[in-house]
Structure 1
Amino acid sequence: MQTPITPVTKASAGLGLRRGLIKDLQAAPTGDFDFLEVAPENWIGIGGAHGAALRALAERYPLSCHGLSLSLGGPSPLDVDFLVEVRQFLDHFKVPLYSEHLSYCSDDGHLYDLLPLPFTEEAVHHVAARIRQAQDILGRRLAVENVSYYAAPRQDMDEVTFTNAVLREADCELLLDVNNVYVNSINHGFDPQTFLTGIDANRVVAMHIAGHFDESDSLKIDTHGASVKPAVWALLAQAYARFGAQPTLLERDFNFPAFSELVAELRTIRRLQQEGMNRG
């Protein structure tokens, strides 16, 4: 008899399903992590050993989906055929959350980078309309993620005001990337706690946390290739105090350490979630 999958709860910690982690994820005992996040474009239609691994892991753990290529803020029409495939993938694996980046990544073709949007009224209307269109095709609400950015295009408003305006006009949800908040706060000189205070708490449905590279005291690079820094752990604790415990993904895309080190970071997430709930 197949063991029932435990649904994702607010106080839960997950890992990304990366090909370099498959053997560790398959061998991990129950309790090391609570859910797995996949980029649907990397797994739709995949067969062979990797497809079999996805199906086997999906029988043991709930999945969350985080897209890479929808280009919500881009100039070209949304890829409707791709969105239909995503909906089928979400329905097949009973995925409760699909998120994408509040950015753009394509023009005439894919640019293979997440580029920042201008913080303008025009951009709010443009991206919100595209999010609504995507939600209509997907048949469910979409969550958008605040991204790290290094060159700031036109900013008629600050990032918090822009993000809240998109969330409100699109009637969508927010995947709060805490590391991105920290990285942007250093690179662009704002208070990360003020950012957290300003975000519409009713829209936050999940969080990401990751490591970054310290290029200098005033330049941080979001890499997903290192352990989480102490300052980011502290900001995550503040995020839980503000928004409550939320499903939180530990992002690690390369430079994988011993799996036990990732499990230790997941335990830190759980400890901070519990402390946040105790304070509440």
Structure 2
Amino acid sequence: MDTTLNLVHGAGMGLRRSFLTEIVENPPKAVDFYEVAPENWITIGGKLGKQFRAMTERFDFVCHGLSLSIGSTDPLDEKFVREVKNFMAEHQIKFYSEHLSYCSNEGHLYDLMPMPFTSEAVSHVASRIRRVQDILEQRIAIENISYYAAPGQEMSEIDFFNAVVAEADCDVLIDINNIYVNSVNHGYDAESFLKAIPADRIAYAHIAGHYVEAEDFLVDTHGADIIDPVWKLLGKAYELYGVFPTLLERDFNIPPLKELVKEVRTIRLIQNAWKSQHEKQSA
């Protein structure tokens, strides 16, 4: 089974149809790779399909799933997984990631629901991840999600996450903003969570903005600018593990493309700063 690590590099951005034409005509130099939700692009045709093909022929892409519902008790949608496999092969997309969550229960729930942090759930979701990897014939990356309740909790979030990754033998999509949001909402130390991540399995990272409902209640919206503590947490992650590919997420309140590219440049600045510091220490 192929590993997904080290197949993309640098700073990335989620591709949106709203600015696809603009990017095709004038690709931002700051963006090294792009991410798409396969659900939104598999069936695309016509002009948008041709533009998308033009992008995948020129740039590295990754897939980030929204609807696989990897933790659900519903039957695994193997037909969809095979469609993803064909889509990735058609466009030479590097790899696939999904959320450690579920979004269906005899029908779609239209939200990413948290897994119960139990040993039973570890075995259940790990077996489903392994099946997806068998079909795709490569590892996938699993993302730590933001959550707002943890009913029936038997273990900590980080212990649950690490147990799933180990049993499934999968890679990690580390979401920096989700760590920060959860640390505020659930009262744990974000850096301690970072230090416990299996670093050798990090495929790439997400970083995004959130909504402040209250001082002790943040909502992961992907609809705002990234704040300083989240940028600093990204820098801490690079300090701990070296620079890994990092992608800007923005799903709502999407500003003009030039504003998004500014945040991608900030990712690159932080990456370059840590690379320079490492080179000085190694000299």
Matched, 1:239 2:241: no
Can you list the C-alpha shifts for 1:18-68, whole angstroms capped at 9, x where unaligned?
Answer: 122223322334513111101111111211222122111112211110000
Report how many residues are paired.
273
Q: Alpha-carbon deviation of 1:125?
A: 0.4
What pairs with 1:89-128 in structure 2 (closer than 5 Å)? 89-128=87-126
Matched, 1:199 2:197: yes
Question: Following the alignment from structure 1 to structure 2, what is the Cα–Cα distance between the partners of residues 216 and 100?
Answer: 29
Q: Alpha-carbon deviation of 1:276?
A: 1.9
TM-score (norm 2): 0.93
What pairs with 1:114-263 in structure 2 (closer than 5 Å)? 114-263=112-261
Question: Following the alignment from structure 2 to structure 1, what is the Cα–Cα distance between the partners of residues 8 and 274?
Answer: 15
Q: Alpha-carbon deviation of 1:141?
A: 0.3
**2:20 alignment counterpart:** 22
Can you list the C-alpha shifts for 1:182-205, whole angstroms capped at 9, x where unaligned?
Answer: 000001110000000111111111
Deviates more, 1:148-157 or 1:68-77: 148-157
Can you list the C-alpha shifts for 1:121-166, whole angstroms capped at 9, x where unaligned?
Answer: 0010000000001100111101000001112222211111111111
Question: Following the alignment from structure 1 to structure 2, what is the Cα–Cα distance between the partners of residues 27 and 228?
Answer: 27
Q: Give 1:185's aligned amino acid.
A: S
CA contact (8 A) 2:8 2:60 kept: no
CA contact (8 A) 2:175 2:205 kept: yes
CA contact (8 A) 2:11 2:268 kept: yes
Question: Following the alignment from structure 1 to structure 2, what is the Cα–Cα distance between the partners of residues 140 and 116?
Answer: 25
Can you list the C-alpha shifts for 1:166-225, whole angstroms capped at 9, x where unaligned?
Answer: 110000000000000000000111000000011111111100000101111001111111
Q: Give 2:83's aligned amino acid.
A: E
The two structures, once aligned, show a CA RMSD in angstroms of 1.4
Deviates more, 1:65-74 or 1:250-259: 250-259
**2:81 alignment counterpart:** 83
Q: Give 2:271's aligned amino acid.
A: Q
Question: Following the alignment from structure 2 to structure 1, what is the Cα–Cα distance between the partners of residues 164 and 262?
Answer: 36
Deviates more, 1:228-237 or 1:268-277: 268-277
Question: Following the alignment from structure 1 to structure 2, what is the Cα–Cα distance between the partners of residues 246 and 28?
Answer: 26
CA contact (8 A) 1:145 1:174 kept: yes
Question: Following the alignment from structure 1 to structure 2, what is the Cα–Cα distance between the partners of residues 9 and 95?
Answer: 10
Question: Following the alignment from structure 2 to structure 1, what is the Cα–Cα distance between the partners of residues 241 and 194?
Answer: 9
Q: Give 2:13's aligned amino acid.
A: L
Question: Following the alignment from structure 2 to structure 1, what is the Cα–Cα distance between the partners of residues 202 and 152?
Answer: 26
**1:63 alignment counterpart:** 61
% same residue: 54
Matched, 1:267 2:258: no
Match of 2:31 among 27, 30, 33: 33
Deviates more, 1:76-85 or 1:25-34: 25-34
Cα 1:24–1:46 change in 2 (3 A) is: same
Matched position secondary structure for 1:228: coil
**1:3 alignment counterpart:** none
Q: Alpha-carbon deviation of 1:9?
A: 4.1
CA contact (8 A) 1:204 1:243 kept: no
Deviates more, 1:247-256 or 1:113-122: 247-256
Q: Give 1:194's aligned amino acid.
A: S
Ranges in structure 2 where 5+ consecutive residues have no aligned partner: 1-5, 279-283
Matched position secondary structure for 1:220: strand
Q: Give 1:177's aligned amino acid.
A: D
Ranges in structure 1 where 5+ consecutive residues have no aligned partner: 1-6
Question: Following the alignment from structure 1 to structure 2, what is the Cα–Cα distance between the partners of residues 59 and 204?
Answer: 26
Question: Following the alignment from structure 1 to structure 2, what is the Cα–Cα distance between the partners of residues 53 and 106?
Answer: 32
CA contact (8 A) 1:36 1:64 kept: yes
Question: Following the alignment from structure 1 to structure 2, what is the Cα–Cα distance between the partners of residues 8 and 205?
Answer: 8
**1:46 alignment counterpart:** 44
Question: Following the alignment from structure 1 to structure 2, what is the Cα–Cα distance between the partners of residues 244 and 198?
Answer: 15
**2:281 alignment counterpart:** none
